[in-house]
């Protein structure tokens, strides 16, 4: 039972640490910021680009930002000695 408490405590510490993290990706004026809790914090568009280009770049930025934040999360978990 004590082990489960320790795991829960580590999970909370990880969650707190990740809530402070941000991943930002920008391409041609399109910028996406994703939080460590895997939520989009902000999106900035470039009105100088056509809609198709903006949509493609936005998709790329979101995917790259999510990948970056997943890497940060994996690193944090590794630093905490793993959890599960």
Successive 10-residue mean pLDDT values, the chain, 84 residues: 78 84 96 94 97 97 96 85 57
CATH annotation of 2-79: 3.30.1310.10
| pLDDT for res 1 | 62
Where along the chain do its domains lie?
2-79
Q: Give me the pLDDT at residue 17, please.
A: 84
Query: For residue 1, what are the CA distances in angstroms to 12, 14, 18?
Result: 17, 20, 26
Query: Residue 69: what pLDDT?
Result: 94
pLDDT for 25 equals 98
Residues in the chain: 84
């Amino acid at each position: 039972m004590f082990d489960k408490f320790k795991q829960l405590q580590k999970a909370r510490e990880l969650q707190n640490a990740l809530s402070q993290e941000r991943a930002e990706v920008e391409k041609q004026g399109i910028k996406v910021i994703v939080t460590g809790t895997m939520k989009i914090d902000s999106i900035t568009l470039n009105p100088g680009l056509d809609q198709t280009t903006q949509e493609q770049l936005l998709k790329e930025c979101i995917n790259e930002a999510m990948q970056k934040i997943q890497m940060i999360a994996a690193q944090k978990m590794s630093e905490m000695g793993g959890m599960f």
